[in-house]
A and B are shown apart, each in its own frame.
Chain A
Amino acid sequence: DSGVTQTPKHLITATGQRVTLRCSPRSGDLSVYWYQQSLDQGLQFLIQYYNGEERAKGNILERFSAQQFPDLHSELNLSSLELGDSALYFCASSPALGPAKHTQYFGPGTRLTVL
């Protein structure tokens, strides 16, 4: 158990819909990262937040957005869903200080299926 929690575990929805994925980082970790894992694209970085501020952006579609709240949990919002958005979405967190600061700890993921 990495200490990172993600809800829900599974999500099935229809094209055109909007969903929200939630992530709670490890206690004390200030950075949250979102990744997408799909069969055709592999594991891809989407976006990073650090202490509530957006820090880095990767291959994140304009239909997708994220935020990190004052309690450090993060949400990834996916809208106007398409079949190709079906994937496993991972959240990871890392601490700001200490020997583990270079390590990203991954949650169990949310499997999104768009029908």
Chain B
Amino acid sequence: AQSVTQLDSQVPVFEEAPVELRCNYSSSVSVYLFWYVQYPNQGLQLLLKYLSGSTLVKGINGFEAEFNKSQTSFHLRKPSVHISDTAEYFCAVSARWGSRLTFGEGTQLTVNP
């Protein structure tokens, strides 16, 4: 079984500041890792994913994440945030292709002017 811990439930930042949303996972098998974003009253949109290969993964909207196997982490970063990045962000893992996603509790990112 897999589990995901998002270390911050809320992250307030000012516009144009850098941000890091932290995610740790636990699994007895190799996993695929994902970050999804949920804007208010909308579904989940994939930001980026790590399947294999380079541990630095670039996604949409200027986000990137780094897979660290020894730390079992997959932190999400953006060097300069915008007001429009205000949303809830979910880290998720799956054990293999076609497998269920196990989600973290979510991190509410609020970007203030």
Given A102-B49, A102-B51, A106-B36, is A50 in contact with B43 using a C-beta cutoff of 8 Å? Answer: no
A73 CB to closest chain B CB (Å) equals 17
- A-B contacts, 12 of them at CB < 8 A, read A2-B43, A35-B101, A43-B101, A44-B103, A45-B100, A50-B98, A90-B44, A92-B44, A103-B46, A106-B45, A108-B43, A109-B43
Q: Mark A45-60, 1 if CB is under 8 A from B, else 0.
A: 1001010000110100
* Chain A: number of interface residues, binned into ranges: 20 to 34
Q: Chain A interface mostly helix, strand, loop or mixed? A: strand
Interface range on chain B (Cβ under 8 Å from partner): 20 to 34
Chain A residue nearest to B94 (CB atoms) is A102
Residues B6-35 near A (CB distance < 8 A): 32, 34
Considering only residues 1-26 of chain A, those with a C-beta below 8 Å from chain B are 2, 4
Across-interface contacts of B32 in A (CB, < 8 A): 102
Nearest 8 A/B pairs, CB to CB: A43-B103, A45-B100, A106-B44, A106-B43, A108-B43, A42-B105, A109-B43, A102-B97
- State how many angstroms separate the Cβ of A7 from the closest Cβ of chain B: 13
Is there a chain B Cβ closer than 8 Å to A94's Cβ?
yes
Partner of A43, one of B45, B51, B90: B90
Establish whether residues A33 and B90, one from each chain, have CB atoms under 8 Å apart when the complex forms: no
Q: How far is the CA of A88 from the CA of B45 in the complex (A)?
A: 15
- Return chain B residues, CB-CB under 8 Å to A44: 103
Which chain B residues border A31 with CB–CB below 8 Å? Answer: 98
Residues of B within 8 A of A43 (CB): 90, 101, 103, 106
> Which residues of B from 31 to 66 have beta carbons under 8 Å from A?
32, 34, 36, 42-46, 49, 51
Instruction: Indicate whether A104 sits within 8 Å of B42 (C-beta atoms), given known contacts A42-B106, A43-B90.
Output: no
Q: Is the CB of A45 within 8 A of B101?
A: yes
User: Shortest beta-carbon distance, A10 to chain B, in Å?
Assistant: 10
B102 within 8 Å of A (CB atoms): yes
State how many angstroms separate the Cβ of B60 from the closest Cβ of chain A: 12
Q: How far is the CA of A30 from the CA of B98 in the complex (A)?
A: 10
Would you give the shortest CB distance from A83 to chain B, in whole angstroms?
A: 22
**B100–A56 CB distance below 8 A:** yes
